[in-house]
Amino acid sequence: MNIAILGCGTIGAGVARLLLEQGELLAGRLGAAPVLRHIVDIVELEDPRLEALRSPTIDTVLEDPSIDLVVETIGGTRVAYDYTRRCLLAGKHVVTSNKDLVAAHGVELLELAAARKLRYLFEAAVGGGIPVIATLAEDLAANRILSVHGIVNGTTNYILDRMETASQTFAESLAEAQRLGYAERDPAADIDGLDSGRKLAILAALASGRLVDWREIPITGIREIEPGDLALAESLGCYLRLVACMEAREEGAASDLRVAPTLVPRRHPLAVARGVYNAILISGSEVGDTLLYGQGAGAAPTASAVLADISACMRTAWSPAVALRWEEAGPAGVLAAAFRGVLRPRDDQTRERIAELVEAEGLDLEPLSDRSGKTVAWRRPAAARDGVEDLAGWFCERGVERVNWLHDLADGRGD
Amino acid sequence: MNIAILGCGTIGAGVARLLLEQGELLAGRLGAAPVLRHIVDIVELEDPRLEALRSPTIDTVLEDPSIDLVVETIGGTRVAYDYTRRCLLAGKHVVTSNKDLVAAHGVELLELAAARKLRYLFEAAVGGGIPVIATLAEDLAANRILSVHGIVNGTTNYILDRMETASQTFAESLAEAQRLGYAERDPAADIDGLDSGRKLAILAALASGRLVDWREIPITGIREIEPGDLALAESLGCYLRLVACMEAREEGAASDLRVAPTLVPRRHPLAVARGVYNAILISGSEVGDTLLYGQGAGAAPTASAVLADISACMRTAWSPAVALRWEEAGPAGVLAAAFRGVLRPRDDQTRERIAELVEAEGLDLEPLSDRSGKTVAWRRPAAARDGVEDLAGWFCERGVERVNWLHDLADGRGD
């Protein structure tokens, strides 16, 4: 199988090196080694082995009938979208690590690929080298997927882990993550939860066959998380993590999707993910709880996942049964379940106002105290009896906004 | 695809029910539902839907050319071996949960299948519903597998977990496991580590392409584990678990294989496996550390894995690239690395004798004390400088035998 790589940044170069260096291993396992023929990038490449294969335009690839498969590691949804379409139209399989593109145009690109008996594969789009896509798409084929809870963003996990273990502020941990290359210079997509939201849309589509517009998912990032939240989590025997969550209601119906800072009990399987690691807990109707854990990013793990997709293309011919098919879920595809967890005011004034409202309105909120006996937060029970469904909205209407809402895996269906 | 099931015990019946009940789900995902045509069992079946499909002999299956795939859930290596051979010779794919048979005759049966362009698949043989076989055989295709550390036996994990959390003796926890159906009436294969050894042979074969005779693997079970071992583990910040371990040396060479009670640091990924759960940590050259976790046994999870294999047969035609090929590793396939970990005498006399020998012979062993300051165990450093390679043998020669050897994941390459 002859291969071209589009976009030779960190991940593209990782894939290129793996193809050049692991030829013998792959030939032994796949019968023949995949052959890297072209790399498309406008920038000159440092590694002379890669530069020797470089073309500045995609035309070289489109016009070369010997190319069977294209690896798209450009990222984003503009050029990558255009090139992916053109490669599929030219009869080439496409393998990608581009979660933005899959989340935005997955339905269309999968359909385009299937219509031409081609594969559009994206194991590397979620969880780096962790085989979560294959697990959902193939290994759990006999299961209805009841829920998926994932720590799918290494940057935010690193920041929250360091805020806890090194007693740092959010700004300090973010700066450290940037220094170590774990966070981008513009970290918004990670820390505001957008990256997790896109990955959640993909996981939910694999579970349900329907792709929601990820912008419909209620997303809360970690920008407002303070040391007080970490201290509260610790006092409750929990870690605080950014968790992407899908909980299925009845079959065929919309799912409850959310990305939010979440209290993860220390003995919960997701608690295994420390530092930049990812972990995804899948609950299936037959298999029960299954967890996958590993490095969610980085050149080598992501390249490993790209190679898994290339191997799949080499091993198995296209058939209707191997082709993923997603529908658009439409705006009604996302349900927001009632809040379950802990709310923590970020200042004293808000704290006092909540205390007043809880008493005056008989809200079903259990006060949580710090060691000195001062109420610092309130816990919302799983089945609140005060009739307030949208508690955050209820407080917001009353001018109470400086509150961190911490979902709780111990106190809901996700336990 | 038409299917027959051989042996309708717990797992066979689980597969049968899943095929009968999840037809619509499977048809949606695979293009067509697999159809259960025959169940071979000598005993009458309680469920009338299953009894209606029952034949007392395998001839019904062998003589029915419409049967494409046979599920072997007989267990053991006698009848199952004979029937598996005959089904492959009759041109039928075979899917099994039978780790004993794969460990004993995997090389021959894979070869027989490949020669006839048939699949012999066994996702259910290790880790129940956890997709560990697919991960090693397919998803990590671009990785050299550096090590595998697995808690692959739910019975022993339950017993050790209960000895710790309920402060029970081995006998009490075993009796409880038997009462709850987690342990067989004859528990030897589990508690003596033989089941873990067979599964380790399969995992190592997937990692290296060479199947060792599992009887060559150094195996220590948990029969001699005492509350004192659990207390020692706790004082060291560890759980005590039965871990099956493969550590690769240089490529193509023998691997260091072992099944042994092992100290697992509380923050180690394997520590996630509590109760009857299994967890397998795979270290790949590209992907780094990846953990898979879930229910390692039980009718529904195991049936889920059998269905994953049936799905694979339906999705992908046979090709040389999908066929697993193993060689026999021969008796030189297993290396025994020097002991790293903690040794704990089981009685005072042995304790005193070890203390004497440590002092007299200058052994590189660091004493570990309990709260009262009494030495209760010794830790062997990763690189001992006393020149004694086979420490257990060394002590044994000197009449010191009542010792528990606890391997240590914190103090070696498995960290």
As a three-state string, the secondary structure of chain A is: CEEEEECCCHHHHHHHHHHHHCHHHHHHHHCCCCEEEEEECCCCCCCHHHHCCEECCCHHHHCCCCCCEEEECCCCCCHHHHHHHHHHHCCCEEEECCHHHHHHHHHHHHHHHHHCCCCEECHHHCCCCCCHHHHHHHHCCCCCEEEEEEECCHHHHHHHHHHHHCCCCHHHHHHHHHHCCCCCCCCHHHHCCHHHHHHHHHHHHHHHCEECCHHHCCECCCCCCCHHHHHHHHHCCEEEEEEEEEEECCCCCCEEEEEEEEEEECCCHHHHCCCCEEEEEEEECCCEEEEEEEECCCHHHHHHHHHHHHHHHHHCCCCCCCCCCCEECCHHHEECCCCCEEEEECCHHHHHHHHHHHHHHCCCCEEEECCCCCEEEEEECCCCCCCCCCHHHHHHHCCCCCEEEEEEHHHCCCC
Q: What is the pLDDT of residues B152-201, one digit of tens each?
A: 999 999 999 999 999 999 999 999 999 999 999 999 999 999 999 999 99
What pLDDT does A352 receive?
A: 96
Question: What are the chain B neighbours of A305 within 8 Å (beta carbons)?
Answer: 139, 287
Q: How far apart are the first and last CA of chain B?
A: 45
Choose from B290, B295, B307 for mutation: most chain A CBs within 10 A. B290
CB contact under 8 A, B288 and A303: no
- Looking at residue A203, its amino acid is L
Q: What is the pLDDT of residues A236-252, one digit of tens each?
A: 999 999 999 999 987 66
What pLDDT does B414 receive?
A: 38
Q: CA of A139: which chain B residue's CA is closest?
A: B308
Task: Please say whether the beta carbons of A325 and A209 come within 8 A.
Answer: yes
* Residue A414 pLDDT > 50: no
Task: Please say whether the beta carbons of A358 and A386 come within 8 A.
Answer: no
Rounded CA separation B133/B203 (Å): 8
Q: Which residues pair with A375 in a beta bridge?
A: A369
* Residue A415 pLDDT > 50: no
Question: Residue A374 catalytic?
Answer: no
* Residue A312 pLDDT > 80: yes
Task: Please say whether the beta carbons of A1 and A310 come within 8 A.
Answer: yes
Q: Is B327 helix (H, G, I), strand (E, B) or coil?
A: strand
Mean pLDDT of chain B: 94
Mean pLDDT calculated for residue range B291-300: 95
Strands of B285-374, DSSP E: 288-295, 327-328, 334-335, 341-345, 366-369
What pLDDT does A413 receive?
A: 38
**Closest CB from A279, A290, A308 relative to B130:** A290
Q: Which percentage of chain A shows pLDDT scores above 70?
A: 98
Using CB atoms within 10 Å of the CB of residue A250, give its burial: 0 to 12 exposed, 13 to 18 middle, 19+ buried. exposed
Question: What is the β-pairing status of strands B277-284 and A54-55?
Answer: unpaired
Choose from A136, A278, A304, A314 for mutation: most chain B CBs within 10 A. A304
What pLDDT does B320 receive?
A: 86
CATH number, domain B2-121, options 3.40.50.720, 3.40.50.740, 1.10.20.60, 3.40.800.10: 3.40.50.720
What pLDDT does B332 receive?
A: 79
Contacts of B229 (CB under 8 A, 6+ apart): B240, B261, B344, B404, B406
CB contact under 8 A, B316 and A322: yes
Question: What are the chain A neighbours of B143 within 8 Å (beta carbons)?
Answer: 304
ipTM of this complex:
0.94
- Using only C-alpha atoms, what is the Rg of chain B? 23
Rounded CA separation B406/B307 (Å): 38
Q: pTM for the whole thing?
A: 0.95
How many other CB atoms sit within 10 Å of the CB of residue B266? 12
What are the residue boundaries of the structural domains of chain B, listed by start?
2-121, 141-295+331-335, 341-411
Question: What are the chain A neighbours of B144 within 8 Å (beta carbons)?
Answer: 25
Rounded CA separation B73/A404 (Å): 52
**Closest CB from B30, B284, B294 relative to A291:** B294
Q: Which residue out of B92, B99, B117, B199 is catalytically annotated?
A: B199
Distances (CA, A) of B65 to A75, A224, B1, B53, B110: 50, 66, 12, 16, 22
CB contact under 8 A, B284 and A304: yes
Per the model's pLDDT, the better-predicted residue between B412 and A315 turns out to be: A315
Half-sphere exposure of A10 (CA within 13 A, CB side): 10
Q: What share of chain B is helix, strand, coil (3-state, %, to 5)?
A: 40, 25, 35
Kindly indicate the confidence band of residue A190, based on its pLDDT and cuts at 50, 70 and 90.
Answer: very high
Kindly indicate the confidence band of residue B412, based on its pLDDT and cuts at 50, 70 and 90.
Answer: very low
Find the range with the poorest average confidence among A35-49, A72-86, A327-341, B51-65: A327-341
Rounded CA separation A164/A149 (Å): 21
Q: What is the pLDDT of residues A219-233, one digit of tens each?
A: 999 999 999 999 999
Rounded CA separation A191/A183 (Å): 9
Kindly indicate the confidence band of residue B410, based on its pLDDT and cuts at 50, 70 and 90.
Answer: confident
Distances (CA, A) of A281 to A250, B75, B98: 20, 30, 27
CB contact under 8 A, A322 and B308: no
Pull the structure tokens for residue B239: 């759980």
Q: Which residues pair with B392 in a beta bridge?
A: none
Q: Is B69 helix (H, G, I), strand (E, B) or coil?
A: strand
Mean pLDDT calculated for residue range B300-308: 97
Rounded CA separation A86/A84 (Å): 5
Rounded CA separation B174/B159 (Å): 6
Residue where the block lists tokens 């976790």: B293
Pull the structure tokens for residue B75: 């267990």
* Residue A267 pLDDT > 70: yes
CB contact under 8 A, B294 and A290: yes
Measured in angstroms, the CA of A276 and the nearest CA of chain B are apart by: 12
Mean pLDDT calculated for residue range B112-124: 97
Contacts of B410 (CB under 8 A, 6+ apart): B238, B263, B265, B268
* Residue B241 pLDDT > 50: yes
Distances (CA, A) of B171 to A380, B137, B160, B191: 43, 39, 11, 11
* Residue A409 pLDDT > 50: yes
Rounded CA separation A201/A99 (Å): 10
Q: Which residues pair with A38 in a beta bridge?
A: A4
Kindly indicate the confidence band of residue B411, based on its pLDDT and cuts at 50, 70 and 90.
Answer: low
Contacts of A43 (CB under 8 A, 6+ apart): A8
Mean pLDDT calculated for residue range B371-379: 94
CB contact under 8 A, B315 and A134: no
Rounded CA separation A307/A299 (Å): 12
Which CATH superfamily, name and number, covers A141-295+331-335?
Dihydrodipicolinate Reductase; domain 2 (3.30.360.10)
CB contact under 8 A, A289 and B307: no
Choose from A290, A316, A318, A326 for mutation: most chain B CBs within 10 A. A290
Per the model's pLDDT, the better-predicted residue between B290 and B385 turns out to be: B290
* Residue B415 pLDDT > 50: no
Rounded CA separation B157/B3 (Å): 34
Measured in angstroms, the CA of B264 and the nearest CA of chain A are apart by: 13
Q: CA of B251: which chain A residue's CA is closest?
A: A25
Q: What is the pLDDT of residues A110-157, one digit of tens each?
A: 999 999 999 999 999 999 999 999 999 999 999 999 999 999 999 999
Measured in angstroms, the CA of A237 and the nearest CA of chain B are apart by: 15
Rounded CA separation A270/A291 (Å): 8
- Count H helices and E strands in chain B, helices first: 15, 18
CB contact under 8 A, B286 and A294: no
Rounded CA separation B404/B414 (Å): 20
A and B: number of Cβ contacts within 8 A: 193
Q: Which residues pair with A341 in a beta bridge?
A: A380, A407
Pull the structure tokens for residue B208: 């290296």
Question: What are the chain A neighbours of B317 within 8 Å (beta carbons)?
Answer: 316-317, 319
CB contact under 8 A, B131 and A129: no
Contacts of A261 (CB under 8 A, 6+ apart): A160, A220, A222, A225, A229, A240, A241, A242, A243, A404, A405, A406, A407
Q: What is the pLDDT of residues B317-356, one digit of tens each?
A: 898 888 899 999 987 788 877 888 999 999 999 999 999 9
Pull the structure tokens for residue A91: 């009869």
- Looking at residue A209, its amino acid is G
Measured in angstroms, the CA of A57 and the nearest CA of chain B are apart by: 28
What pLDDT does B333 receive?
A: 82
Question: What are the chain B neighbours of A123 within 8 Å (beta carbons)?
Answer: 139
Q: Is the dihedral of CA A273, A277, A278, A279 positive or negative?
A: negative
CB contact under 8 A, A290 and B291: no
Q: CA of A319: which chain B residue's CA is closest?
A: B315
What pLDDT does B252 receive?
A: 65
* Residue A411 pLDDT > 80: no
Contacts of B154 (CB under 8 A, 6+ apart): B128, B182, B275, B276, B277, B278, B295, B296, B297
Strands of B157-249, DSSP E: 210-211, 238-248
Element (H, E) at B391: helix B391-397
Distances (CA, A) of B67 to B7, B71, B210, B215, B303: 16, 11, 31, 36, 19
**Closest CB from A298, A304, A315 relative to B143:** A304
Q: What is the pLDDT of residues B195-225, one digit of tens each?
A: 999 999 999 999 999 999 999 999 999 999 9
